[in-house]
Chain A
Amino acid sequence: MEQKGCCVWFTGLPCSGKTTVADLVAEELKKKNLRVERLDGDIVRQSLTRDLGFSKEDRDKNIERVTFVAKLLSRNGVAVLVSFVSPYRKARDHAREECTNFVEVFVDTPVEECEKRDVKGMYAKARAGEIKDFTGVDDPYEAPLNAELILETVETTEEECCRQVIEKMAQLGLIPSAGGEGTPEEPVYSPEEEEKIQKRLEDLGYL
């Protein structure tokens, strides 16, 4: 089947696990020989949007530029995996309108858990007032109302989250299904393999 372009948009608090899961999903999709691009907050802010800060206005500009890139890629048959805090609903809704096959994934990790996972100590700095406008501390996070998928990451492993994303993408027909649909699209066995299998079944009296 021809690959469909799509934009899987991971949103959630800082340190909620967006990058971890999106990276795993990217690996899985590459294993399936699909075209994949990652747009990750930390990386994009070092290049495409390095002139921007964290005010509401700058955050909106940041997401607007990312949306633009995701739009170009997704309409050209690439699976784009975007991982940004992207706290504002309106900005995400705009991305949904612009991109081909938009899939919103809400990485729903409670703020206490995010703080525990915060290796760079950003939450502590925000609490101490050293960082301003930090989402979850002194800047709001507007949780998605209609996300295609919500990931619970406290009781669930990162691999399982990845599996859920892949499953959702398959359900939406964006990638080939992992199976279990009753009638596989392609034959499972090549003619030579089928001959071998028939022989094995015959040897056991199963044919």
Chain B
Amino acid sequence: MAFLKFRKGKKRVFVFSIDGVPYTFLKAQMEAGRFPHLRELDGQSPLSRMRSVYPTISSVAWSSYMTGQNPAKHGIFGFVDRKPGSAEVFIPTSLNMTSKTLWEILSQHGKQVVVMNVPVTYPPRQVNGLLVSGFLATDLKKATYPAEAAAELESMGYRIDADAALARESLDRFLDDLHQTLDRRVEAMFHLMEHRPWDYFHVHIMGTDRINHFLWGHMERGDATYAPLFLEYYDRIDEILGRLLDRLDPEVHFILMSDHGFCTIKGEINLSRYLIEQNLLKYRSSPPKGLADIHPESRAYTLLPGRVYINLKGREPQGGVDPEEYEQVRDQVADTLLQFRLPDSGEPVIREVFKREDIYSGEHLEAAADLFAIPHDGFDLKADARKETLVEHSALVGMHTYDDASVLIRGSTAIRPNVEIIDLLPTVFDLMDVPVPADIDGRNAVT
């Protein structure tokens, strides 16, 4: 016996998110006459530039979107993190996120949700509706809430992620894989949006970030083979956008967004190597065997991208910096990072260094890195201390940027300047007439 029918009407929201698609790229392509469906939408409700989070990676950006909070409140700081008080690292999952997500809060208010493929939603946490996890889920059977939904998605050939390893073997096979994954995602999206009750529907496309990582450079330099194939993938996204808008109730609030921008990699910078060269980091053996191998004389170490930890006594297992020296050492390390120049060209690598309390606040502040090194665009900060070279080039040609994410809210003609990804949760709640919880850091992107 159902005691309530699901609602239709004006207070519903559909979010179409495209991972890592820069505002400036979409703008430039529209100006060049591409993406007719996006152009039409942009004509009514302009696409706007949005800020991401520090560090600018999808796991942190999406955690911040779905909680409306800064990382020191939700507790997700990267794709890997340190286990407190040990030299072990672990891969944070949805269970490490200590805040309620947008879809959980909506569920509490009796709203029905469908959430597809958003990163850091594995293992799936309970919602009022359906959630299928995204990037870093391993097996579809374990990636849905409720568990029964997996069979329905499996029957549609649903894929959680394309296989990025293919890109290092064959770009053509990688592209085929991206297209197939997209096809299955879109088929499932149309099926679910028309067969499930929902007040909030979120579909996430990860493929844009993947293609950017491996083909952004080809696109930028106009590679004869791969630049057209890169744009073809984006043309498909635009075509899907057109079909989606045709089928979506015009009263539904529609949001198009990405979580960060992208630019061409000029070099992968091994920040661990730099710290070693500056005598700030030392390992007990060579090649080093992980964080446990850090020498107590070390002043600092780093996890990617640009998260720098002071080797503090009492906190780090091999800690060598006395608590009373902490501020002085932190300033010294920050200065050294800011002085980082490429050996051959003399180009500065680090644009800015933040202390954690400059950008974060909340109960998990102590778990955050002590310093955040923000590179100039083009320098992708890595941290593999086993590698001896300072600058490397690999199959990866694109890297994330902070201030070039995109957002478009259908019906909103003016999005605030300097809007941030954490501002979208309160925006969604206001559109749905759901009270915004008090511990949210963001504020409405429009008003």
The size bracket of the interface on A is 35 or more
Binds B, one of A44-52, A57-65, A136-144, A193-201: A193-201
Choose among B3, B112, B164, B380 the residue with the greatest number of A CB atoms under 10 Å from its CB.
B3
Q: Which of B109-140 contact A (CB under 8 A)?
A: 110, 112, 122-123, 125-129, 136, 138-139
Q: What's the least CB distance linking B259 to chain A, in Å?
A: 14
Q: Are A163 and B128 within 8 A (Cβ)? A: yes
Q: Are B213 and A196 within 8 A (Cβ)? A: no
> Given the complex of chains A and B, what is the CA–CA distance between A20 and B3 in angstroms?
9
Q: Are B94 and A180 within 8 A (Cβ)? A: yes
Binds A, one of B29-37, B95-103, B245-253, B415-423: B95-103
> Given the complex of chains A and B, what is the CA–CA distance between A203 and B79 in angstroms?
13
Q: Are A182 and B96 within 8 A (Cβ)? A: yes
Q: What's the least CB distance linking B155 to chain A, in Å?
A: 20
Residues of chain B lying within 8 A (CB to CB) of residue A207 = 79-80, 304, 384
Q: Are B96 and A205 within 8 A (Cβ)? A: no
CB of B6 within 8 A of chain A?
A: yes
Q: Are A206 and B95 within 8 A (Cβ)? A: no
Overall SS of chain B's interface: loop
Q: Are A188 and B128 within 8 A (Cβ)? A: no
CB of A55 within 8 A of chain B?
A: no
CB of B268 within 8 A of chain A?
A: yes
Q: Are A203 and B164 within 8 A (Cβ)? A: yes
Q: Are B93 and A117 within 8 A (Cβ)? A: no
> Given the complex of chains A and B, what is the CA–CA distance between A182 and B362 in angstroms?
14
Q: What's the least CB distance linking A171 to chain B, in Å?
A: 13
Q: Are B110 and A205 within 8 A (Cβ)? A: no
Q: Are B3 and A200 within 8 A (Cβ)? A: no
Residues of chain B lying within 8 A (CB to CB) of residue A160 = 107-108, 110, 128
When A180-B98, A201-B91, A207-B79 are in contact, do A166 and B394 touch as well, CB less than 8 Å? no
When A20-B1, A205-B213 are in contact, do A193 and B96 touch as well, CB less than 8 Å? no
Q: Are B98 and A178 within 8 A (Cβ)? A: no
From A157, A166, A180, give the contact of B97 (CB < 8 A).
A180
Q: Are B57 and A206 within 8 A (Cβ)? A: yes
Beta-carbon contacts of A101-130 to B below 8 Å, as 1s and 0s?
A: 000000000000000010100000000000
CB of B191 within 8 A of chain A?
A: no
Q: Which of A134-190 contact B (CB under 8 A)?
A: 153-160, 163-164, 166-167, 178-184, 188-189
Residues of chain B lying within 8 A (CB to CB) of residue A204 = 164, 210, 213, 396
Q: What's the least CB distance linking A20 to chain B, in Å?
A: 5
Q: Are A182 and B75 within 8 A (Cβ)? A: yes
When A153-B4, A205-B268, A206-B304 are in contact, do A197 and B91 touch as well, CB less than 8 Å? yes
Residues of chain A lying within 8 A (CB to CB) of residue B99 = 180
> Given the complex of chains A and B, what is the CA–CA distance between A127 and B382 in angstroms?
75
> Given the complex of chains A and B, what is the CA–CA distance between A180 and B76 in angstroms?
11
CB of B224 within 8 A of chain A?
A: no
Q: What's the least CB distance linking A96 to chain B, in Å?
A: 26
When A156-B110, A207-B80 are in contact, do A181 and B3 touch as well, CB less than 8 Å? no
From A19, A180, A184, A203, give the contact of B168 (CB < 8 A).
A203
CB of B156 within 8 A of chain A?
A: no
Choose among B79, B94, B122, B128 the residue with the greatest number of A CB atoms under 10 Å from its CB.
B128
Q: Are A180 and B3 within 8 A (Cβ)? A: no
From A159, A183, A193, A199, give the contact of B165 (CB < 8 A).
A199
CB of A14 within 8 A of chain B?
A: no
From B110, B112, B138, give the contact of A155 (CB < 8 A).
B110
Q: Are A180 and B147 within 8 A (Cβ)? A: no
From B1, B79, B93, B164, give the contact of A188 (CB < 8 A).
B93
Q: Are A178 and B110 within 8 A (Cβ)? A: no
Q: Are A189 and B138 within 8 A (Cβ)? A: yes
Q: Which of B1-53 contact A (CB under 8 A)?
A: 1-4, 6
Chain A residue with minimal CB distance to B303? A207
Q: Are A158 and B138 within 8 A (Cβ)? A: no
Choose among A19, A154, A205 the residue with the greatest number of B CB atoms under 10 Å from its CB.
A205
Residues of chain B lying within 8 A (CB to CB) of residue A153 = 3-4
Residues of chain A lying within 8 A (CB to CB) of residue B129 = 159
From A155, A201, A205, give the contact of B80 (CB < 8 A).
A201
Q: Which of B197-213 contact A (CB under 8 A)?
A: 210, 213
Q: What's the least CB distance linking B260 to chain A, in Å?
A: 13
Residues of chain B lying within 8 A (CB to CB) of residue A178 = 125-126
Q: Are A189 and B91 within 8 A (Cβ)? A: yes
Residues of chain B lying within 8 A (CB to CB) of residue A155 = 4, 110
> Given the complex of chains A and B, what is the CA–CA distance between A104 and B129 in angstroms?
26
Q: What's the least CB distance linking B171 to chain A, in Å?
A: 14
> Given the complex of chains A and B, what is the CA–CA distance between A119 and B98 in angstroms?
43
When A20-B3, A153-B4 are in contact, do A200 and B136 touch as well, CB less than 8 Å? yes
Q: Are A200 and B164 within 8 A (Cβ)? A: yes
> Given the complex of chains A and B, what is the CA–CA distance between A119 and B128 in angstroms?
26
Q: Which of B334-392 contact A (CB under 8 A)?
A: 380, 382, 384
Listed A/B pairs (7) with beta-carbon separation below 8 Å? A160-B107, A179-B94, A184-B93, A188-B122, A193-B139, A198-B91, A207-B79
Q: Which 9 A-B pairs have the closest CB atoms?
A: A156-B110, A184-B95, A179-B95, A203-B164, A160-B128, A206-B79, A182-B98, A193-B138, A203-B165
